[in-house]
Amino acid sequence: MIVVSHTRPCVFVLLSFCYLSGSAQINTSKYEIGIKAGTFIYQGDLVPSDAGSYKTVRPQFGIFASRLLSSSFAFRLNFDAGSVSGDDAKYSHPSWRQDRNFRFSSPIYELSAQLVWDILARNYNRPVKSLSPYVFVGVGVSYVDVKRDWSRMNTDVFTPESEAQSGLATDIATTIHHGLAVFPAGIGLRYALTQKISLIGESSYRFVPTDYLDGFSYSANPSRNDHYYSHSVGAVYSFGKKNSWDCPVVKY
């Protein structure tokens, strides 16, 4: 009599189930939270460099929460708080900045929704001690309260007929709104310390459709909008746990 053994097929199915389940259960939650800190950098009419005003950098702090959408993409809700400032007097070249002498400062409270792309698709399986680059884009709103100062202008150099003085009247008469639309875009690098805790470093540029972030436009450079960006480092905590399927060692 021939006996057909079902042991090997059962073992194969069981091992396959354990492997696939274990791979899928490395992170049983799709949610993450994080904190970060760094600097806000103003880029606008009161700084001669396209790189922005590194002479007036201000601190920035942020918190965020993410939901993983796939192995590559995540949705992130991000809040940043800090301030920006600019000051003509910080720059001696060109020399007319010392005579125009505009300055401003403003707090920034920014809330944005972002789509984050993990380039190596490691959202669900991030090896410990590994680096993962990512990029992100989003849309949001910032609350600002611009304080501008033109009282130090050298009126012997900038006469009423000059662009700075003639345009200043228009700027003073223009209402500066507290709410600004922002469009953040940036890059980052993530290092997994453990399966739950990662370190991050990122840079985020904010496209802002206004020339009044610094309070000046027609008296400075009305053909170009103002922007700001940030450099920050932080930490991420991933909810969930390792594979919860306790598959036994099978012998046959």
CA distances from 91 to 48, 104, 148, 222 (A): 8, 15, 18, 20
Measured between alpha carbons, how far is 198 from 190 in angstroms, rounded to an integer?
7
Predicted local distance difference test score (pLDDT) of residue 8: 53
Q: Where are the domains of the chain?
A: 30-238
Chain-centroid distance, C-alpha 105: 21
Q: CA–CA separation, 75 vs 72, rounded Å?
A: 11
Give the residue from 212, 232, 230 showing the smallest Cα distance to 221.
Answer: 212
Distance CA 252, CA 250 (A): 7
Q: pLDDT value at position 241?
A: 63
Task: For residue 94, say if its preceding peptide bond is cis, omega within 30 degrees of 0.
Answer: yes
Structure tokens at 28: 């049983």
DSSP string, the chain: ------HHHHHHHHHHHHHHHHHHTSS---EEEEEEEEEEEEESTT-SSTT--GGG-EEEEEEEEEEE-SSSEEEEEEEEEEEEEEEGGG--SSTHHHHH--EEEEEEEEEEEEEEEETT--SS---TT-EEEEEEEEEEEEEE--EEE-TT--TTTS-TTSHHHHHHHHHHHS---SEEEEEEEEEEEEEESSSSEEEEEEEEEEE-S-S-SSS-STTS-TTS--EEEEEEEEEEEE---S----PPPP--
- Cα atoms found within 13 Å of the Cα of residue 180, Cβ hemisphere only: 30
Nearest alpha-carbon partner for 142 in 72, 231, 69, 62: 62
CATH number of 30-238: 2.40.160.20
CB 165 within 8 A of CB 181: no
The owner of tokens 């003639």 is 166
The pLDDT value recorded for residue 44 is: 94
Per-residue pLDDT of the chain (252 residues; tens, 9 = 90+): 444 445 455 444 444 444 444 444 455 589 999 999 999 999 999 999 888 999 999 999 999 999 999 999 999 999 999 999 999 999 988 889 999 999 999 999 999 999 999 999 999 999 999 999 999 999 999 999 999 999 999 999 999 888 899 999 999 999 999 999 999 999 999 999 999 999 999 999 999 999 999 999 999 989 899 999 999 999 999 997 654 444 444 444
Q: What is the pLDDT of residue 212?
A: 96
Classify residue 177 as exposed, middle or buried by CB count within 10 Å of its CB (0-12, 13-18, 19+). Answer: exposed
Count other Cβ atoms within 10 Å, centred on residue 71. Answer: 13
Predicted pLDDT at 50:
87
> What's the pLDDT score for residue 19?
45
